[in-house]
Amino acid sequence: MPLSNDPFVLQDSRLLRHQPFVNGQWIDGDAPALAVDNPATGACLGEVETLSAASVNAAIDAARDALPGWKAMTARERSVRMERWHDLMLEHADDLARIMTLEQGKPLAEARGEILYGASFAKWFAEESRRAYGEIIPPPARGRRLLVLREPIGVCAAITPWNFPCAMIVRKTAPALAAGCPIILKPAESTPFSALALAELAQRAGIPPGVFNVVLGNPPDIGKAFAAHPAVRKLSFTGSTRTGRVLLAQAAEQIQKVTLELGGNAPFIVFEDADFDAAIDGAIAAKFRNAGQVCVAVNRILVHETLFGRFTECLAARVAALKVGNGLDPDTDIGPLINAAAIERITALLAEAKADGAKIHTGGQPHKLGGLYFEPTVITQINPCARLWREEIFGPVITLIPFRDEAEALRLANDTEYGLASYFYSRDLGRLFRVAEGLHFGMVGANTPAISSECAPFGGIKASGFGREGSSHGIDDYLEFKTVWIGGI
């Protein structure tokens, strides 16, 4: 279907693809096409073709057949191609950002930032591929030698969400490629164009046919096809805890290795000795990026009782000044939410909290722009049993609660099934260590909202999943240890 009245105006129109990418080819779909809407306007951006389960199986077969050639390349041969992929992402950053804003809604500057952040994983893992060292272990007996090789795990599958349509893809595919594994990616239905543009660039970078594949179609069918195919040795998933549970259970069938980056319920603690202004800036940054649709977004703010009134007032004033609008408008701070279900869910969470006595300081309802826009909202007097406090909000709504002392702050912060990101502000050196160690989360931002980079492990504990992406550890999930005993020396 041609693009509608909401055209992608790109410098390189070949980045806009409408078909699955399998075995180095753009292939025809054999299942119902999928319409992709612009959340800012509601207009249909276009359709993508999708695959039946049988065709997804054929794609996995192609990846399986590509494994020996990709694995046999030297790390340098693989890394040169991955560096080229990185360079192409930077070269086309404006187009990639535009595609992302059109299909996902986030402000253009954020989209561009995400492209640079995503690309950094391609570069990082290109470098790491050359450092996937094995070991020589001093042997336990004379006349023997003991080696450990690190080998690619095999064909990998990735399922990614719509909130970071580029970064989540590169963060999963780059370590797989670096390790010598072909990968099959299923991007989110709302944001397939970003994924297909990355496939186009991977092809231009010289990643061989069958090594980088993008399949589109019915998510449960594709998830089952990934789980059932014996060639798939590893699944990496980012998305909801609900879907993560389904995929983990399915992976049990073939004993596939799994990495899960699931939901969060991040606390943000402001102690009485915090740098007040930095804490306000940090709260805004860690909450309202991508309209709050971020797994590491602040979900709950805990403020020492002596600062509570002033902090709430200052935060509400700053939040009320955030500009809601189309992400293509350079003034926009907060774009639309992803779909109508997101608006309905947030409206329901707020209605429940209000009925339970919560106080709204700013926002609280769908924005007057209509459509998928929602007012950035600040709430106090929340009941800690409320869903708004206990569940991942995934929208531009923040709740604040006062606490008396450090012990109470930690107890409230840790009182959640989730364990992804956490934040706190304090200038007391002893407290920095005590609280960082006392928070039961995979990541802690102390006096900073910025907690993700290609060089740091990213991931959670408890219902937020397991496995780490990024850093020198990020390649481990895609490699197996092989122990080689040599006798008769």
Which residue, 54 or 484, is less far from ligand ADP as judged by CB? Answer: 54
Q: Is 243 a binder of ligand ADP (CB under 6 A)?
A: yes
Which residue, 246 or 285, is less far from ligand ADP as judged by CB? Answer: 246
Q: How far is the CB of 347 from ligand ADP (least distance, A)?
A: 17
Q: How far is the CB of 243 from ligand ADP (least distance, A)?
A: 3
Q: Is 339 a binder of ligand ADP (CB under 6 A)?
A: no
- The catalytically annotated residue of 49, 110, 261, 454 is 261
Q: Is 256 a binder of ligand ADP (CB under 6 A)?
A: no
Q: How far is the CB of 221 from ligand ADP (least distance, A)?
A: 8
Pick the piece of the chain touching ligand ADP (CB under 6 A) from 114-122, 145-153, 217-225, 399-407: 217-225
Q: How far is the CB of 373 from ligand ADP (least distance, A)?
A: 19
Which residue, 242 or 368, is less far from ligand ADP as judged by CB? Answer: 242
Which residue, 347 or 381, is less far from ligand ADP as judged by CB? Answer: 347
44 classed as catalytic: no
Q: How many positions of this chain bind ligand ADP (CB under 6 A)?
A: 14
- The catalytically annotated residue of 156, 166, 181, 295 is 295
Pick the piece of the chain touching ligand ADP (CB under 6 A) from 1-9, 138-146, 186-194, 474-482: 186-194
Print burial letters for 221-247: b (CB count within 10 Å at least 16), e (below 16): bbbbbbbebebbbbbbbbbebebbebb
Pick the piece of the chain touching ligand ADP (CB under 6 A) from 52-60, 239-247, 370-378, 379-387: 239-247
Q: Is 246 a binder of ligand ADP (CB under 6 A)?
A: yes
Pick the piece of the chain touching ligand ADP (CB under 6 A) from 39-47, 218-226, 304-312, 415-423: 218-226
Looking at 206, 220, 230, 357, which residue binds ligand ADP (CB under 6 A)? 220
Q: Which amino acid is at 90?
A: L
Looking at 188, 274, 346, 413, which residue binds ligand ADP (CB under 6 A)? 188
Which residue, 134 or 219, is less far from ligand ADP as judged by CB? Answer: 219
* 275 phi and psi angles, rounded to 5 deg: -75, 105
Q: How far is the CB of 257 from ligand ADP (least distance, A)?
A: 17
Question: Per CB under 6 A, which of residues 72..131 are in contact with ligand ADP?
Answer: none
Q: How far separated are the first and last CA of the chain, in Å rounded?
A: 67
Q: Is 228 a binder of ligand ADP (CB under 6 A)?
A: no
Query: Cα separation of 42 and 3, whole Å?
Result: 14
Q: How far is the CB of 136 from ligand ADP (least distance, A)?
A: 41
Q: Is 67 a binder of ligand ADP (CB under 6 A)?
A: no
Q: Is 294 a binder of ligand ADP (CB under 6 A)?
A: no
CB 249 within 8 A of CB 228: no
Q: Is 292 a binder of ligand ADP (CB under 6 A)?
A: no
Looking at 46, 182, 210, 239, which residue binds ligand ADP (CB under 6 A)? 239
261 classed as catalytic: yes
Q: How far is the CB of 58 from ligand ADP (least distance, A)?
A: 18
Which 3-state string (H, E, C) describes the chain? Answer: CCCCCCCCCCCCHHHCCCCCEECCEECCCCEEEEEEECCCCCCEEEEEEEECHHHHHHHHHHHHHHHHHHHHCCHHHHHHHHHHHHHHHHHCHHHHHHHHHHHHCCCHHHHHHHHHHHHHHHHHHHHHHCCCCCEEECCCCCCCEEEEEEEECCEEEEECCCCCCCHHHHHHHHHHHHHCCCEEEECCCCCHHHHHHHHHHHHHCCCCCCCEEECCECHHHHHHHHHHCCCEEEEEEECCHHHHHHHHHHHCCCCCEEEEECCCCEEEEECCCCCHHHHHHHHHHHHHHHHHCCCCCEEEEEEECCCHHHHHHHHHHHHHCCCECCCCCCCCCECCCCCHHHHHHHHHHHHHHHHCCCEEEECCCECCCCCCCECCEEEECCCCCCHHHHCCCCCCEEEEEEECCHHHHHHHHHCCCEECEEEEECCCHHHHHHHHHHCCCCEEEECCCCCCCCCCCECCEECCEECCECCCCCCHHHEEEEEEEECCC
Looking at 25, 41, 240, 381, which residue binds ligand ADP (CB under 6 A)? 240
Q: Which amino acid is at 118?
A: G
Contacts of 307 (CB under 8 A, 6+ apart): 270, 272, 274, 276
Q: How far is the CB of 260 from ligand ADP (least distance, A)?
A: 10
Cross-strand partners of 358? none
Binding-residue pattern over the window 145 to 184 for ligand ADP, x denoting contact by CB under 6 A: --------------xxx-----------------------
Q: Is 219 a binder of ligand ADP (CB under 6 A)?
A: yes
Residues making contact with ligand ADP (CB under 6 A): 159-161, 186, 188-189, 219-220, 222-223, 239-240, 243, 246
Catalytically active residues, by annotation: 261, 295
